[in-house]
Amino acid sequence: MTVSALLLIDIQNDYFPSFTRAKMPLPHMDAASAQAAHLLAAARRSGTIVIHVKHVMASDAAPFFHPGTPGSELHESVAPQSEETVIEKTRPNSFVGTKLQELLREAQVEHLTICGAMSQMCIDATVRAAVDLGFKVTLAHDACAAATVEHDGVTASSDMVQAAIMAPLAASYAEVQRASECVARLQG
């Protein structure tokens, strides 16, 4: 039997438009977290390993996720239970500078279900790294949120960024599914 884990990445207050002091509100973050909460509940019911990843910026000059602030805290919709692991990271890739790979290997995890934010940064970096490390990955795309970005005078909406990230991940890295499909798989 394949051992699986659910990774909830950076579902933190600073990303939520509904959090009054949000420093980096993402469109669709509230909807994404609601889907992540469904995944989390299914993982808990099925006994799937749950790991929360929390981004804490190393510098006070960073635009968001300042250490010790309410904005850097994990959102209440996916609050960890005492037996669940919380890993803090300072880079987009959840494996860099953390014990994530070690914890997964010790638990003999082969498959990861991933959700969270931001799709174009920490989700993309972590999914690609996980596959490069030999894990099979399922990405719950509607339990992820992206930012609207601008480059060289071109603005890409969060919806366009989401599609531009999910399409190549689906082509070469992960099984990209709706959260409801992931829930059905977890419930087996």
pLDDT confidence of residue 92: 96
Give the model confidence (pLDDT) of 174-185 as tens digits: 999 999 999 999
Of 115, 122, 144, 182, the active-site residue reads 122
Q: Which residue matches tokens 């804490």?
A: 56
pLDDT confidence of residue 115: 98
- Which structural domain, as residue segments, surrounds residue 137? 3-187
Which CATH number does the domain housing residue 7 bear?
Answer: 3.40.50.850
Give the model confidence (pLDDT) of 42-82 as tens digits: 999 999 999 999 999 977 778 899 988 999 999 999 999 99
Query: What is the full DSSP assignment across the chain?
Result: --EEEEEEE--BGGG-TTSTT-SS--TTHHHHHHHHHHHHHHHHHHT-EEEEEEE--S-TTSSS--TTSGGGSBPGGGPPPTTSEEEEESSSSTTTTSSHHHHHHHTTEEEEEEEEE-IIIIIHHHHHHHHHTT-EEEEEEEEEE---EEETTEEE-HHHHHHHHHHHHHHHT-EEE-HHHHHHHHH-
**What is the rounded distance in angstroms from the CA atom of residue 164 to the CA atom of residue 170?**
10
144 tagged catalytic: no
pTM above 0.75, yes or no: yes
Q: What angle do CA 47, 87, 183 make, to 5 degrees?
A: 35
**What is the rounded distance in angstroms from the CA atom of residue 173 to the CA atom of residue 91?**
20
The number of distinct structural domains making up the chain is 1
**What is the rounded distance in angstroms from the CA atom of residue 26 to the CA atom of residue 145?**
7
Residue pair 28/158 in contact (Cβ under 8 Å)? The answer is yes
Which residues are within 8 A (CB) of 150 and not within 5 positions of it... i.e. 6 or more apart?
A: 156
Give the model confidence (pLDDT) of 128-149 as tens digits: 999 999 999 999 999 999 999 9
Give the model confidence (pLDDT) of 93-138 as tens digits: 999 999 999 999 999 999 999 999 999 999 999 999 999 999 999 9
pLDDT confidence of residue 61: 79
Among residues 153, 162, 126, the alpha carbon closest in space to that of 6 is found at 126
